[in-house]
Every structure is written in structure tokens, then in C-alpha cells.
Chains A and B, each alone.
Chain A
Amino acid sequence: MARRLSTRRILPVVVILAAGVNVAAQAAHQNIASACAGCHASQARPQPDTPMGRGMQWPDTNPLFKSHPALNLRKGPYTYSVETKGNQPVYSVTDGTRTISLPIRWSFGKGAQTWVLEKGGELYESMVSYYPSIDGLEITTGDAVLTPQDLDEAVGRKLREGEPQDCFGCHSTGAVSMGKLHLQTLEPGVTCEHCHTGAKAHMVAAFQGEAYDTAPPDLRRLSSEDISNFCGQCHRTWETVVRSGWRGEVDVRFQPYRLANSNCFDGTDPRISCIACHDPHQELVTADNLYDGKCLACHASKNASPPGGGHNDAKVCTVASANCASCHMPKVKLPNGLMTFHDHEIRIVKPGAPYPD
């Protein structure tokens, strides 16, 4: 007990020293990760540069605009360009006689990027996006079916009612409150507070010696089913995909849906949860072999006891014991061929078999 009290008193001091700034001022700062790093360094330091941490980027911190100051694409009668002067990228479309130019404020995505544009008080999804796979612009995923009738329509797709809340709600922090959009106060990307509701209050309370009483819920304690639904708030839950009727290769992007379709998915087995394989605070691991241990936690030899306990009745692969994901979670391209995802429906893939819905 004495030790606990002692820790309570020391903790705020550690927070202040580690953050190097006044805690109250940090709480008001748009990105609290550096302040959180005072106590949670291994999570908070790398997280801001992950794909989720950079789910949205301001123009001045977006490396794409520095490395690609001029991007162009001609599509039918329209020519698109994204040109950056200083720190201000401008999205333009012209039909040769007239040009519409809009400043880019919100870039969605770290690798592939789509821009949300403001025109006449309305929000639009840019008609073209940047794709690393071609190192250039191409029509935004899902918009190839659109046929602009004039230059105004060629700018992009007007977001439907409620859609901005969905887009900004996932790609930034603090953009949506009680269903209302707050574009002036949002923090770009997924910050600590996005997933750990109450993180800011917890940090301030820590300064007052209340760190333990105000800690946000420990998400590691959630069941695999609950974690899928938690991550699925943005990556789409199984329910969302089913309700929406999305079928075919396009749904490979919705990992919680695909994972739950796997024979091996068990909502109470921690070895198959999202966070069993992915640490959301770290850069995404892309080497297949680095996931082998996760697969072998269930599919190891019968004689081996699974790490962390639990049953071990899963079949053992007769073909290989390495690079499991390369066969059992094949890469699937979106129909536009511009983005590729590992299919999270873990399965024995038979040659020539259609993509399973």
C-alpha cells in the first residue's frame, strides 16, 4: 500500500519530466502522444507515425507533398493536378477552358491518399487519389463508376449527409461529438484519445495524483469478438459489412469481417484477436514470416503446448511451417488493381477457387 501511494506521488513528476512541458498545456495540445509517452513510451512514441497515427495529415507535415510537388493525371476531358508551393498543396481540375482550384486541407491516408475538399460550404471526396503502387494519381477507389457531367462534378464526389462524420471520425480524433462534425478542433490521425477514451482526462488527473483511478479501460482485456468490433468501428465490423451487402474482392479491406469468416475464429480465444497479431502502436509488420509465431500458437505440433495456454486441437500444416500467411492469407487486389490487402479470411486456398464471400 505504501509503495502504491509512493508511486502515485512520483508518477506526475515523471510525466512532467518526460514530456518536458507543463502537463496542462500538453493536454490542450493537438497531439497528446508525446505527453502520454511520459508513462507509456513504448506505445506513444512510435504510434504517431503508424498508418493509423497518420490516418489524416496536415499539408505541412505530409511528406507526399514534399516528395511529389507536382502530380498530374488526364482522365477523359479533364486534367487533374496537385501542386505544392511552400506548404500549401492545391488540387485543380481543368477542362481546358475553365479551371477549379481548391486548397488541400485534409489528406486521408499515409500511403495511398485521398483528399477531402471544401467547395461552396460542402465537402467533396477528391475524384483522384495518390497510389504508391503506381506512384501517381488515379481515380479514387469506388469512383470509377462516376461520369462527371461538367467541371464542377469532375472535382469529386459530394459527401452524403452523415458521411463526413464517418470519414473524419475514423481518420482523425475529436472531429465528431454527439453526431456533429467539428472540423476546427480535430486532431489529425488516430491519437491516444481516439481509442483510449478518457486518455486526456487521465493525463491531467495523473498530475493530481489520480492516475490509477482514472485510467481508461484496458482494451487488452476485451475478448477477441469485442476487439474485432472495437477495431471494426473503423475497419468495419462483421455486422456492418453484412448489413451493407458488400460482397466480392472489395470486402478484403474489411479485416474484422474477413477474420470472423475464418473457420478458426473463436470470439473467446485471444490467439485469434486483432491485437494477437497487430500492435496498433507500432508500424505495421509487412513480412509474412514475422507472423508465423502467431499461426503456430494454434497450429503447432500436438506435442507442443500453446503459448499462453488454451487448447491446441488445430490442424498442423503438412506443407510448410513458415510463411503461413503467404498461402493461407493470400494477397488480394482491389478490383481497380491499385491496392493489395492480405485476406484475413484464414483458410486452405484451393487453386482456381473463387474468392469466398
Chain B
Amino acid sequence: MVSIRSRPCSFCVLLILVFFTCTWLPKATGQIAPPRQNDLIAQASAARMQNDLPRAIELYSRAVQVNPKWPDGWWFLGSLQYGTGAYIPARDALSHYIEMIPNAGPAFALRGLCEFETGEYTQALGDIQQGISLGAANQPRNEQILRYHEALLQTRLGNYTSALKTYSFFAKNGVANPDLLAAIGLAGLRMPLLPKDVGPGQQELVSSAGDAAYRFWAGDEISAAQAFQELFQRFPKAPNAHFLYGYLLFATNPDAALAEFQQELEIAPSNADADVMTAWALLLRNAAAEALPYAQKAAAEKPTVPSAQLVLGRSLMETGDLKGGLSHLEKALHLEPNNLETHLALAKAYSKSGRKEDARRERILCLRLTSGNGTTIEHP
């Protein structure tokens, strides 16, 4: 069982990131400290190598005061401060480093982990994702830790679908521990919390939901089905439990997924997400007239949610109200400009409206959005 917990393992992160960066730093910065600093640096380096962190931090602090343009000093200072739990000064030191070395993936990642600890969740997510995009997750261990924190933050910020996609990575790679299951459960049940914030009364619910989802991703659908049935029996009124199972089933069994979404709406009639998914599943079945009331309800409850506008726009378009449909699809586009489904629906709506050039523009955008996603056709 691999640990990917945040705080206790943060030092592991540090060591890995430091190792990574130590091999990368000289090439990246290309800067050598002035001669008068050399003694100070040598002492700081010796303290660091001896694991005397307080002394090393003090010496690196003095070194960067003498020469604030010395990026390596800021990196060592920030990473050592992170290791001692001094997250705010660590974040600031890493910010100095990033100012000088703007493509430093590990520094972005480590600053994101600092911000995670200081509760600056939006900035933390941005920095961790920037770090990943710049290569900080290029080793399996780093990737696990960064992806885990990314998903924790996505959940905390209410981006549950992205979090679930990230968590599926762990199940497919056989990584499991109780913290991870609780974290998956939170994303699945759409609770904007971190695992440490789950009250004692909800821990069993959250862990059971996470366990069931984990089994599904691990490919054991029979065991997952049993786990979900047990979850439904033990917590029959738990919001989003049926929604979670429907979400997981959707790709392979949309009919079963639709039944779960409808079950969810019986438990929680004002669940706009379940309305959206019910409408979407019906639209994919070419049942736009059945989809329309769900779409209308979702858009009325959450008018600023792009997917609610999308399903309403599609439902209206496919039931003959082209003008009304276009209006909602254009709202969806405004709310989320790069959603492929919105562009696909707009291409169809413009085409049906005789707006040939607009349809063509949307089609080209769709092709651009999907370029590079090529797959082989596996059937005749």
C-alpha cells in the first residue's frame, strides 16, 4: 500500500523534488554565486547535507539577502522551509525563484503544495497544474503525489468531474490507501471537503462510496456493483450516491446509468447535476422530447452551469425550437468557450438554421479541439 497523504509525505515530495531539481538546477540557472558569498554557501550546503535544517535555512536566508538574484539560494531556502512546515516563507522564497526561473516545474509544484497547506486552494491548484505541465510529474512517485493533491484541490473547489478523472488514474495503477478512498468518496459524493474535514458521522459513507468507485475503476464491475448496492442499502438517502454510480456506468452502459440518475432524482429532486445527466443520456438515445423537462429544470436551477445550458439548447433544437435552442447553446458557449459538445451542438444548430458559414466555423473548431485524439477503428 503506497502512501500519498499530504502532510506526512510532503517531505518525501521535497526530497524527490530537490533531487530532481538538484540535477536540473545548474543547467537551468547557469548562475554562479559571487566569490564573497562562497563561504556562506559552503556552510549552508554543509548544513543541508548534514540535515541540520534550521542552520541551513538561516544560512541560505543570509545568502539570498546578500545576493537576492541568486536563484539556487531561493530554491534551497524554499524547499528547506517547506520541509520544516514553514509554508508561508517557503511559498515566498519559491516565488522569488519562479520570478527568475519561470519554467521551473518542480518549483511551481512545491509552491502549490505550500499553498495547499496554507489554504490558498485556487492558487495551489493552478501552481500544481502548472508544475505538472512543466514536467514536475515526470517520475511515478512525484506524479502520484501531485495528482493526488490536484484531485483533492479539484474536489475542494467543486470540480468533481475533473477530480474523479484524476482519481481513476490511481485505481488503474493499483495505488490504494484509506485516505485515497475517502478522497474519492468526497469527489464522488460531490462534497467540497478535504478528507481531514470529514466529520466522524460521515466517514463510513465517504469511504464506502470511494471504495465502490475504486473497485469499478479497477475493472471489477461485479464487486463494484455489490459495493454500490451495499452503499445504497446502508445509506438510502445519501445524496449523489446513485449519481456517482450512474457517472461511472455512463460510458459503457448508458441505459443503466440513466436509471441511476433517475433514482438520484427520486432521492434528491433538486439535484441539477442529475437533471443534466438524465437529459444528456436521453439526448444520446435520441429522446429529446423526454430530455427537455429535465434540461429545463436543470437550467432553471443552475442557469450559470454550462452543461445545463447545453442540454437545454440541444433539447430545444432537437424538438424543433431552433431559435430557442441556439440562444441557450450560445449561452453555454459564453460560459465555457472550449467545450467540444457545445461546439458540436452549435455546428448542428447553425447548419439546421441555414447559417452555413457559422456552421462551418464551428465544425473547424471541433476538428481543432479534437486534433491529435486519433484512434484506430476497431470494427468494419
Contact = CB atoms under 8 A, between A and B. Distances in A.
Interface of A: 108-109, 112, 114, 125, 129, 140-143, 145, 157, 161-163, 166-167, 178-179, 223, 225-226, 229, 238-239, 242-248, 250, 260-261, 263, 265-268, 357
A239 B253 contact: no
Contacts of A268: 351-354
Nearest to A129: B380
Nearest to A244: B375
Contacts of B366: 242
A163 B253 CA distance: 11
Contact of B373 (A143, A245, A248): A245
Task: Give the interface SS of chain B, mostly helix, strand, loop or mixed.
Answer: helix
Most buried by A among B254, B350, B378: B378
Contacts of A166: 379
B378 A157 contact: yes
10 contacts: A109-B380, A141-B377, A161-B252, A163-B379, A166-B379, A238-B363, A243-B344, A245-B370, A267-B351, A268-B352
A112 B380 CA distance: 10
A229 B347 CA distance: 12
B271 to A, nearest CB: 24
B172 interface: no
Given A226-B352, A245-B375, 11 more contacts: A145-B376, A161-B253, A162-B253, A238-B363, A242-B340, A242-B366, A242-B367, A245-B373, A245-B374, A250-B377, A263-B360
B227 to A, nearest CB: 19
B352 A223 contact: yes
Task: Give the interface SS of chain A, mostly helix, strand, loop or mixed.
Answer: loop
B359 interface: yes
B380 A125 contact: yes
A88 B7 CA distance: 69
A143 to B, nearest CB: 8
B362 to A, nearest CB: 11
Contact of A142 (B344, B371, B380): B380
Interface residues of B, number: 29
Give 8 nearest A-B pairs by CB, closest first: A267-B351, A245-B373, A268-B354, A179-B255, A225-B351, A247-B374, A141-B380, A225-B352
Contact of A357 (B252, B351, B354, B367): B367
B370 A125 contact: no
B356 to A, nearest CB: 5
Interface string B323-354: 00000000000000000100010011011111
Nearest to B256: A179
B331 to A, nearest CB: 20
Contacts of A161: 252-253
A225 B350 CA distance: 10
A239 B375 contact: no
Contact of A242 (B253, B344, B350, B352): B344
B374 A246 contact: yes
B351 A142 contact: no
Nearest to A161: B252
A182 B344 CA distance: 32
Contacts of B356: 265-267
A238 B347 contact: yes
A108 B379 CA distance: 12
Nearest to B221: A161
Nearest to B364: A261
A34 to B, nearest CB: 29
B379 A125 contact: yes
A260 B363 contact: yes
Contacts of A157: 378
A167 B253 contact: no
Most buried by A among B252, B254, B375, B376: B376
Contacts of B253: 161-162
B24 to A, nearest CB: 34
Contacts of A247: 371, 374
Given A108-B380, A162-B252, A179-B255, A246 B375 contact: yes
A5 B375 CA distance: 57
A43 B341 CA distance: 37
B81 to A, nearest CB: 45
B25 to A, nearest CB: 39
A181 B241 CA distance: 29
Nearest to B372: A245
B188 to A, nearest CB: 22
B376 A142 contact: yes
A243 B340 contact: yes
A261 B255 CA distance: 32
B367 to A, nearest CB: 7
Contacts of B373: 245
Contacts of B359: 267
B313 to A, nearest CB: 14
B225 to A, nearest CB: 14
B344 A239 contact: yes
B261 to A, nearest CB: 15
Contacts of A163: 379
A143 B340 CA distance: 29
A250 B379 CA distance: 11
Interface string B243-260: 000000000111100000
B284 to A, nearest CB: 10
B317 to A, nearest CB: 11
B255 to A, nearest CB: 4
B377 A229 contact: no
Nearest to A260: B363
A267 B352 contact: yes
